[in-house]
Chains A and B, each alone.
Chain A
Amino acid sequence: MRVVILWMGLFLAALAGLQAQEATAGLSSPSTSVGQPVELVVTVRDARSADVPQKIDVAGLRIELFGRATRFEMNNFKVTSSLTYTYSVVPLNAGEFTIPPIEVQVDKKTLKTNAARLSVMAGAAPQQSQSAPLPNAPLPRADVPPPAGQVTPYFGDLLLSKKKAYVGEVVPAELRYYFNSRISGEVGDRPNFGGEGFTAQKLSHVPKREQIVNGENYVVFGFQTGITPVKSGALEIPASSLEARLQVPGSPPPGFADIFQQFGGALPPGMFTSTRDVSIQTKPVTLEVVPVPKEGKPENFSGAIGKFKMEASVSPKKAAPGDPVTIKVLVTGQGNFDAMGAPELTEDEGWRSYPPTDKFEPADAIHFTGTKVFEFVLIAKKDRAQTPGLKFTYLDPATGKYESLIQAPFDVEAKAGEARPEASPVGNVTPSPTPRAEPSASQSVVHVGGNSSWVPLFKEPFFILVNLAVATVWGLVLIYVIARKFSESKFMLRRANSRRLTRLIADLENCEDSSFYDQAAGCLISVVGGDVESWDGISGLMDPDRQILSSLTERISESKYSPNAVLKPTTEERGRVMQVLKLLVSQYAK
């Protein structure tokens, strides 16, 4: 028995040796605010020791190593070992940061982690549910896995980026579900999330990552969304749950543990597991929602809440009479882009403007960061040297004040377009109650022509019929031409001649003796061409055949030049001549 266990141990050790070494890096949160640290966890698989840098230089971030852990695990006879290095990442400035791949030295080899991206917002610190274990560093110590082997296998958490928000403001939020890395299983596609008093963006997956909570390694499944409160007051974001089927640690069969104790050791963790369907829930979070301030609220406030920048351009700089000039406005930043209205045109006298088109280009999955592009189409009613200016007003939630972004008019050279005589107040004309004659455009426009059917010409039955008729004629002509060409071919001529010769032989066979030589002469001429003497030029004839043909030629000459003489062949002679002629015809047919 001991030998078997020893071999099993060697086998498992060999399996462990086959594991590929790799280094990965993950952030405890993809977004945070200035001053609020997050964790960067570097995990090195299948290594007993490794060298990592103490500090990582990224402008705008302070990244320092503060923790190291080693872990050996055996899950269903599969042994894994990993080293975990935890860095504290403290944002110093707002913005988008990319932490470059970190070089890890393992056994004279250099491994590189993946790069990690961190979005840092200015403003208040993120809020998290009271009893949840900690998403962002410094890690909270409430509701953490208890020590002495009692590990919380899984738990959920909801993070809001702020505690207080305005009605209509987008609050980024993240649902997190933590699973102890010792357990495995399958996790549902997405949690159920929703409630009253707010709208939420479609949940977006955050890449799976690892995080240490109170010394325990957890795998974190995250889902980001943007919550928009629609009424003021205390808004309770209800719990959301995620379904999962987990392989949780189980007890070994009776007596199995004794075997290990004989060797002075305990059962390897994860060796025996059981399947359990669970629903992991976050805890409800309360968000304080206040209405947008009335003080200082401009009349043209379009509902934009966030932090924005505005850029604009104009094209073309020179416009011919009636040609449009387009002002393109890019509003970039973070906020409620979906509810945002267009900037306002100022000093637009002398211009005819169309309602602007807009297009949003999100930079994240929850449509919180991005660029909204507005395009104003303008036509000069008078000669103008400048376009209208632009004004965009928004509420900055960090300060609670309304801010205005101003774009000065652009210099252009636009000529006035031709005004249509009766075009002006299209939408405001009221029908005249008196049926008296009034000048009407319909009388001034005399139009003759155009189509008198909604069906295109090529679908008209007459058009189709005419073309079908022409196609039929063309097909017949094609058949005629092909047939004529075929009938004139050498093959067809030869075939017709062959048929004629066969007919002549048949006639010769049945003819009277008195006309035999005449008909035989005709048959021979048809075969050899020219006159009866031409047979001499035919190659491949045997001597007896040549004698028969020579005799036949003589008889023919005799018959020709002695018209009164009646030459009749004997039956034997007739048979020989027929045989030779048939031979000649068969050779000709080939």
Chain B
Amino acid sequence: MPNKIPSPLRNAVAALILLSSTFPAWCDDLSEARSRATNGEHAEAIRLYDRHLQTGRPSASVYFEIGECAIKSANPTAAALNFRRALILDPRFEAARKALAEANLALGIPPDPVGWKATIASKLPLDALLITGVVLFWLGLFFAVLCFRVRARLLASVFLILSGGTLIVLAWLCDPRVEFRRQSYVVSPTGCGVFNAPVDNSEKLTKLAPGSVVTVISERGRWIYGQLPGGARGWFLNEGLESVIPRT
């Protein structure tokens, strides 16, 4: 029997069927993970949460829930990493901030210093700030082009451009997704050695405790050159580190 259905239509139907079969599975992973977490099956819940995150979009709430499960699984290192990720996705997530402080306390890591960037990020919605800045900036530019003959309007347009530019820069500087882009987290339960040079038998400078965050400066093979929390620099093996912002 000849196939009378046109090819594009056939492909569209197949895509719809595929989507409709994936979506419930994606939702099921999350609800199943929450159910397992409620029942105390934390390891299984974490596995399901992770599977959900592999297919879905990242969510501060999901990372927070993983952190809670990790805490209950006596794994403060993983907990601190996930609370930190929740806080990066939503810097105004106060419960995640407190939970991170507690996890750091359990790990013996000093609390994160609260700088002006973190303060602004915890008070203001950064994406809204960025959009407002962009709108003001473009308004100012259009205003300047169309009304440049009138002095008062020109001043107003300069004010709009400067205000918009300031908001854009502020949103860019304070966004933790920018700041943490190059930061890695010590996940190894035994900590991570810091060496003087990227060779196995080089001088060991110090050891970083699990839960420490280092800033990656450059990479050479399996070695990472980075900056320690105190400002010193050294080489680490990448086996014990995990990027704070997951690599896709």
- Of the candidates B38, B39, B74, B134, which one forms a contact with A427 in the assembled complex, judged by CB atoms under 8 Å apart? B74
- Of the candidates B37, B61, B69, B172, which one forms a contact with A450 in the assembled complex, judged by CB atoms under 8 Å apart? B61
In whole angstroms, what is the CA distance A428 to B106 when docked?
9
Known: A445-B64, A456-B172, A456-B177. A423 touches B102 (CB 8 A): yes
For A352, A434, A441, the residue with the greatest tally of chain B CB atoms inside 10 Å of its CB is A441
Residues on the B chain within 8 Å of A445, using CB? 64, 68, 95
State whether A452 touches B110 (Cβ < 8 A): no
Q: Which stretch (B3-11, B52-60, B213-221) binds chain A?
A: B52-60
Known: A450-B59, A452-B58. A427 touches B106 (CB 8 A): yes
Q: Report the nearest B residue to A375, measured CB to CB.
A: B110
Q: Which stretch (B14-22, B40-48, B151-159) binds chain A?
A: B40-48
Q: Is B199 an interface residue (CB 8 A)?
A: no
State whether B60 touches A447 (Cβ < 8 A): yes
In whole angstroms, what is the CA distance A434 to B134 when docked?
54
In whole angstroms, what is the CA distance A427 to B69 when docked?
13
State whether A451 touches B177 (Cβ < 8 A): yes
Q: Is A449 an interface residue (CB 8 A)?
A: yes
Q: Is the interface of B mostly helix, strand, loop or mixed?
A: helix
Known: A429-B74, A431-B42, A447-B95. A441 touches B68 (CB 8 A): yes
Which B13-35 residues have C-beta < 8 A from chain A?
34
The interface size of chain B toward A, counting residues with CB under 8 Å, comes to 62
Q: Is B124 an interface residue (CB 8 A)?
A: no
- Of the candidates A440, A453, A470, which one forms a contact with B57 in the assembled complex, judged by CB atoms under 8 Å apart? A453
State whether A458 touches B130 (Cβ < 8 A): yes
Query: Taking the nearest CB of chain A, how far is it from the CB of B22, in angstroms?
Result: 18
For B36, B69, B145, the residue with the greatest tally of chain A CB atoms inside 10 Å of its CB is B145
Q: Which stretch (A101-109, A247-255, A474-482) binds chain B?
A: A474-482
Contact with A along B174-191 (1 / 0, CB 8 A): 010110000000000000
Residues on the A chain within 8 Å of B145, using CB? 474, 477-478, 481
Total A-B pairs in contact (CB under 8 Å)?
Answer: 135
Residues on the A chain within 8 Å of B102, using CB? 420, 423, 426
Q: Is A412 an interface residue (CB 8 A)?
A: no
Known: A457-B127, A467-B134. A451 touches B90 (CB 8 A): yes
In whole angstroms, what is the CA distance A185 to B4 when docked?
98
In whole angstroms, what is the CA distance A287 to B68 when docked?
57
State whether A481 touches B177 (Cβ < 8 A): no
Q: How large is the interface on A (under 10, 10 to 19, 20 to 34, 35 or more residues)?
A: 35 or more
Known: A442-B64, A447-B61, A450-B93. A437 touches B177 (CB 8 A): no
Contact with B along A428-466 (1 / 0, CB 8 A): 111110111110111101011111111111100000000
Query: Taking the nearest CB of chain A, how far is it from the CB of B95, in angstroms?
Result: 5
Q: Report the nearest B residue to A450, measured CB to CB.
A: B90
Q: Is B162 an interface residue (CB 8 A)?
A: no
State whether B57 touches A437 (Cβ < 8 A): no
Q: Is A290 an interface residue (CB 8 A)?
A: no
Q: Is A355 an interface residue (CB 8 A)?
A: yes
In whole angstroms, what is the CA distance A453 to B56 when docked?
10
In whole angstroms, what is the CA distance A397 to B126 when docked?
60
- Of the candidates B37, B69, B73, B110, which one forms a contact with A354 in the assembled complex, judged by CB atoms under 8 Å apart? B110
In whole angstroms, what is the CA distance A270 to B96 when docked?
79
Q: Is B198 an interface residue (CB 8 A)?
A: no
Residues on the A chain within 8 Å of B99, using CB? 423, 441
Q: Is the interface of A mostly helix, strand, loop or mixed?
A: loop
In whole angstroms, what is the CA distance A448 to B93 when docked?
9
Residues on the B chain within 8 Å of A474, using CB? 138, 141-142, 145
State whether B130 touches A457 (Cβ < 8 A): yes
Q: Is B89 an interface residue (CB 8 A)?
A: yes
Q: Report the nearest B residue to A429, measured CB to CB.
A: B74
State whether A454 touches B90 (Cβ < 8 A): no
In whole angstroms, what is the CA distance A453 to B86 when docked?
11
State whether B65 touches A442 (Cβ < 8 A): yes
State whether A426 touches B105 (Cβ < 8 A): yes
In whole angstroms, what is the CA distance A528 to B61 when docked?
83
- Of the candidates A355, A434, A470, which one forms a contact with B108 in the assembled complex, judged by CB atoms under 8 Å apart? A355
Known: A355-B108, A426-B106. A454 touches B39 (CB 8 A): no
Q: Report the nearest A residue to B244, measured CB to CB.
A: A454
State whether B58 touches A454 (Cβ < 8 A): yes
In whole angstroms, what is the CA distance A481 to B148 when docked?
10
- Of the candidates B71, B89, B98, which one forms a contact with A426 in the assembled complex, judged by CB atoms under 8 Å apart? B71
State whether A452 touches B76 (Cβ < 8 A): no
In whole angstroms, what is the CA distance A457 to B74 when docked?
35
Q: List 6 interface pairs A-B (beta carbons < 8 Å), by A numbering.
A: A423-B98, A435-B41, A442-B37, A442-B64, A451-B89, A452-B58
* Those 8 A-B pairs whose CB atoms lie nearest each other, nearest first: A450-B90, A426-B106, A450-B60, A442-B68, A452-B57, A423-B102, A442-B65, A435-B39
